[in-house]
Each structure stands twice: as structure tokens, then as C-alpha cells.
Homo-oligomer: A and B are copies of this chain.
Amino acid sequence: MEKQQLITKLREKGFKVTPQRIDICRFILSSKEHPTADRVYQEMLRKHPTISIATVYQTLHLLNKIGLIEEMGSSVGISRYDPNTSPHINIICKNCGKIRDYEEESVRELWSQIITKLKVTPVGQHLEVYIYCDKCKELGT
């Protein structure tokens, strides 16, 4: 998403455009690493040394509300954020928590077949497959 497009989107949703907000949005929207709030905060500190983590949370929540990112819960009690809101599979190591995306047209097709059977109107989805990654398997978990 272009910077100008982002600014327009924020304004049309009634949110003010601040430097902190722009940088948080740009970072998370282009991120491939499913970062935690703290990871985003650490990144922002480089450019905004006095930024508050509350600002990071507030921005992540608003992006979630307007549908630009998905909040991924986890069993260790830390949320991660994913800018990819289309149906795709997150391959997650049950040991180290590392996430890899599997994005394929065939997944979207098969998934839409499943959804059709459900007779509901989805507003999002999380498809998570748990594995033990090569690194963790080597180390014996």
C-alpha cells in the first residue's frame, strides 16, 4: 500500500494522521515476519525514541478494526500481527513459535469450498498447522 493511499484510508475512517501512526502502519503492513507488538515497538524506537508502547497497541488495534491486519492469538499469551488477511496457511513451530506462510491459489480454492458448506459469513480466518521445525527437530525439541 502506498503512503498516500494509507493516509487517505486513515482520514476517511476518521483517524488522524500522525508521524508515529504512519511509521507503525508502514512497518506492519509490509512485514512478512508476523511481529509482536513489542517487536514493532522496538523497531519504532529507532526513529521515535520517545514513542510509547501504548501508541503501538492503539495503532495495531485500529488497523485490525479497519481490516488491514489480523491479530493472531497464541497459546503463549502473546499476539502477533499479520498484514496478509486473505485465506492462507500459517505453519507454526510448536516449539519455537516461528511462523512460515503458505500462500497458494489452491488453498484459497479448497478453503472457499469448505466455507460454502458452513453457511456463514466469515469476517476472517486463521488456518494454522503446527509442526516442529527442522532446527527444533535437530536440537531434540
Contacts and interface: CB of A to CB of B under 8 A. Distances in A.
Contacts of A124: 94, 129-130
A106 B106 CA distance: 16
A131 B121 contact: yes
Tell me the interface secondary structure of chain A in the complex.
mixed
* Copy count, this protein chain: 2
Interface string A120-135: 1111111111111000
A104 interface: yes
Interface in A88-129: 89, 91, 94, 102, 104, 106-107, 110-111, 113-115, 117-118, 120-129
Contacts of A75: 71-73, 79
Given A110-B113, A126-B128, A91 B118 contact: yes
Contact of A131 (B71, B107, B123): B123
